[in-house]
A and B are shown apart, each in its own frame.
Chain A
Amino acid sequence: MNIKSFILKNKRLAIGGSITAIMVILAVTGLFFTPYDPNAMDISAKLSGISPRHIMGCDNFGRDIFSRVLAGLSTTMVVAVGTVFIGIVFGTLIGAFTGYYGGYLDEIMMRFNDAVLAFPSLLLALVFISVMGSGKLNVTIALGILFIPSYARIMRGEFLKCRNLDYVMSARLMGASDMRIMFVHILPNTVRVMLSTIAIGFNNAVLAEAGMSYLGIGVQPPDASLGRMLSEAQSYLFVRPGYAVCTGMAIVLLILGFSMLSEGLEKNA
C-alpha cells in the first residue's frame, strides 16, 4: 500500500493532518510575519468589526486580532514544543534507567511518580508559577517538569517490556554495553509509543498554557497568548463576540487537528 492511498483511506488522518498542517503554517508564519504589529494600537479602530483591512476585526485597544491570533498561535506552539521536549528527554532518560535496571531505584521513582500523577497537573503548575513567577520561559519549564512523570512511566513500561527480548539478549551476548543496548537497540523500538505520547502531551500542553494564560498567570505581555486574549475578549463578549470566537477557535482547531492526526496514525500504524 502506498502512502497516498493510506492517507486517503484514513479520513481521520487526512482531516487531522490538514488541520494541523494549516495551524503549523500559521504559527510558523506568526513567528516571522504578521500583517500588523500584534502590539500596535490604533484607537480609531477600537473594537471595529470584520473589514478588508482587519479580517478578524480589532480588539479593545485597536490591535489587529488576526495578527494577534497568529502571534498567539506561535507562542502557544513554542511553549508546547518546549514542554514536550523537556518532558520526553528527561522522561525517556528516567524511564530507560528505571525500566532497564529495575530494583530499588525503580521502586522509589515509581512511588514518587504515582504521587505526582495522582495530582491535577494544572495545580502543580500553579505551585511552580507562584514560586518562580510567570512568563513564557517559566511556564514552559513548569509544564515540562510536570510532564516528566507521565512520560517516564510510559517509557519505563516500554524498556521493561524490551529488556528480555531476544534481540536485546543477542546484543548483550555480542558484548554491547548497557548504554548501547538502551539507547541504540531499545530506543528505536519505542518510537511508536513515544509518538502517540508526544501527541497527547502536546494537546495537554496547549490546554494548560491557554488555561494558565487565561487566568493571568501564564504567558505575560508583550508576548501575545491565546489564553490571555480570551480573557480580554470576555469583557467585550456582548459587543464583539467574534473576538472570543476567533481566538477560541484557534485553540480548538489546534487541539482537534492534533488529536485526529495522532489517532489516525495510531489506528493504521
Chain B
Amino acid sequence: MKYIGKKLITMLITVLIVTMLVFLAFRVIPGDPVSNMLGTSYTAEKAARLRTQLGLDRPLPVRYAEWMKDFFFGDMGKSYTYGIPVRPMLAGKVPITVTLTLISFLLVVAISIPLGIYTAKHEDKWYSKAIDVLNQITMAVPPFFAGMIFTYLFGLILKWFRPGGFVNYSIDPVGFVLYLICPSICIALPKAAMTVRLLKSSVLGESRLDYVRTAYSRGNSTNEVLYKHVFRNALIPVITFLGVTLADIVAGSIIVEQVFSIPGLGRLLITSISTRDYPVAQAIIAIIACIVIIINFAVDILYKVIDPRIR
C-alpha cells in the first residue's frame, strides 16, 4: 500500500511538471494572440479589454491553475483554425490512437516473449543465431520505412489491404481493427526485436545463478526450472523495458498514422503544429502525456506484483 501511495505521488508530480512544461512552452511563443485576433482594428484600449476578457492579464500560475482545471473538466478551449471547441475534435480520435497503441503493444508481447525464451533455450543452434541476425536488422528499421515497404508489398502487390482505405470503428469495427494490424506490425517489429534480445540475455544471465542449480538438484525438469524459476526473475528487466517501450509506441504511432493515413490524434497533432493551431496541439500533447504517465504507473504496480521484493 505504501508502495502504491509513493508511486501515486510520483505520478501526480510528473503530471504537474509535464503539464507545466507544456503550458509554459505554449506561452513563450513569439507573437501576441491579442494583436493577432484584433488584426487591423488594433487599438491599445481594445487590446486591454480583450486581454482582460481572455484572462491574459492575470499572473501565469493563476492561468496555469485555470487551464488545468478546465482541462480536467473537459474544456480544452477553441481551435484557432476552425473556431470550434477542441474537445469534440478530439473525441473521435482518441479511441483510434489508443487501439493502434494497444494492438502494437500486444503484438510486441506476443512476438517477443515466446521468441525470447525459445532463442535462449536453443542458444547454440543455428536457427537461434539466424534469429539473432534477423533481430539486429529489424531493430534498425524505422517504423515509417517498414510501413512503406509493407504498403508496397502487401497493399500494392499482394493486395491484402487497401492503402488509405481506413474505415472508422463506428462504421465497421472489424474492418477498423483489420486495417490497424499492418501499421501495428510496423510499430511493433523493432520494439519486439529489442525485447527478444533483452529477454534472451536476461534468461541466460539468470540461468547461471546458484538457485537454478539448486532447483535442478532437487530433481526439477528443464522446463520446470525454466518456467517456474528462471522466467519469473528474467521478466523483471523486461517489464521495465516494456514500460518505456509503451511510451515509445505512443510516439511511434504519431508517425505511423501519417504513413497509413489513419485519422488519429497523431495526424491532428501534426496538422495543428504546422498550422500553429496551439490550443489543439496543447490539448493533444497533454492528453498523450497523461496516457503515458498512467501507463508508467500501471507498469510500476505490475512490477510489484511480479517481484514482491521491490519496495
Report A's interface with B, CB cutoff 8 A. 111-112, 114-116, 118-124, 126-131, 207, 210-211, 214-217, 227, 230-231, 233-234, 237-238, 241, 244-245, 248, 251-253, 255-256, 259-260
Contact = CB atoms under 8 A, between A and B. Distances in A.
A131 B25 contact: yes
Interface stretch (B66-74, B204-212, B233-241, B246-254): B246-254
A127 B252 CA distance: 16
A211 B255 contact: yes
Shortest 10 CB-CB contacts between residues of A and residues of B = A120-B251, A256-B140, A248-B145, A115-B17, A255-B140, A122-B251, A130-B273, A115-B14, A120-B247, A252-B140
Given A120-B292, A123-B251, A252 B258 contact: no
A114 B14 contact: yes
A227 B147 CA distance: 13
A243 to B, nearest CB: 10
Given A237-B151, A248-B149, A259-B139, A118 B296 contact: yes
Interface stretch (B83-91, B111-119, B274-282, B302-310): B274-282
Contacts of B18: 115-116, 118-119
Contact of A120 (B248, B274, B276): B248
A241 B152 contact: yes
Given A123-B251, A255-B142, 7 more contacts: A114-B14, A123-B285, A126-B281, A130-B273, A248-B141, A252-B142, A255-B139
A119 B289 contact: yes
A214 B255 contact: yes
Contacts of B250: 120, 123
Given A251-B142, A256-B140, A215 B255 contact: yes
A211 B152 CA distance: 19
B28 interface: yes
A127 B152 contact: no
Contacts of A207: 142
Contact of B289 (A123, A131, A237): A123
A256 B136 contact: yes
Interface in B107-147: 136-137, 139-142, 144-145
A130 B281 contact: yes
Nearest to A254: B140
9 contacts: A114-B14, A122-B252, A127-B285, A217-B273, A230-B144, A237-B156, A255-B142, A256-B140, A259-B136
Contacts of B152: 237-238, 241, 244
B247 A230 contact: no
B273 A230 contact: no
Contacts of A260: 136
A241 to B, nearest CB: 5
Given A207-B142, A216-B270, A256-B137, A234 B148 contact: yes
Contacts of B136: 256, 259-260
B159 to A, nearest CB: 12
Nearest to A255: B140
A111 to B, nearest CB: 7
B64 interface: no
B271 to A, nearest CB: 10
Contacts of B252: 122
B219 to A, nearest CB: 36
A10 to B, nearest CB: 14
Contacts of A230: 144-145, 148
Nearest to A112: B17
B140 A210 contact: no
A211 B142 contact: yes
A255 B145 CA distance: 13
A216 B259 CA distance: 12
Contacts of A214: 144, 255, 258
A119 B142 contact: no
Contacts of B139: 255-256, 259
